[in-house]
């Protein structure tokens, strides 16, 4: 059974920074690409960032390029999302996800099938 648990959510002011963590268990973590998605009320869940199984490739949504950084620690079985220069429109529930096929690049959002419970990020003045 795959278990993904997000942490690090909270409220920040515009321009601030925050780092999310996602601890994984129940899978051979180092074999799978990992990703982050977000969702706001009334909207579809959207891709934010992903990282290949070996950490050598990363992908980002256009809306967060240059501001967010995804990374992973295969020893600790944890994936991170560092968020800088946060904007009001970044407010959402953020979800950690794992890809369904081992040794993947994480380059297609449709390949992710395991999800965490989500953590709330609120950016406001």
pLDDT tens for 18-67 read: 999 999 998 899 999 999 999 999 999 999 999 999 999 999 999 999 99
81-115 pLDDT, tens digit per residue, is: 999 999 999 999 999 999 989 999 999 899 999 99
Burial of 108 (0-12, 13-18, 19+ CB in 10 A): middle
Backbone angles phi, psi at 21, to 5 degrees: -125, 150
pLDDT band at 73 (very low <50, low <70, confident <90, very high): very high
- At 74 the pLDDT is 93
- At 1 the pLDDT is 82
- Secondary structure class of 52 (helix, strand, coil): coil
- Is there a contact between 53 and 103 (Cβ–Cβ < 8 Å)? yes
């Amino acid at each position: 059974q795959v278990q993904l648990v997000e942490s690090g959510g909270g409220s920040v002011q515009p321009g601030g920074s925050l780092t999310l963590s996602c601890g994984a268990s129940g899978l051979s973590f180092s074999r799978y690409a990992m990703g982050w998605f977000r969702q706001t009320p009334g909207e579809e869940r959207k891709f934010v960032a992903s990282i290949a199984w070996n950490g050598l490739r990363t992908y980002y949504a256009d809306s967060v390029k240059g501001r967010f950084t995804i990374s992973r620690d295969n020893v600790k079985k944890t994936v991170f999302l560092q968020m800088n220069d946060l904007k009001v429109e970044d407010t959402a529930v953020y979800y950690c996800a794992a890809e369904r096929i081992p040794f993947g690049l994480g380059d297609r959002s449709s390949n992710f099938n395991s999800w965490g419970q989500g953590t709330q990020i609120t950016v406001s003045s």
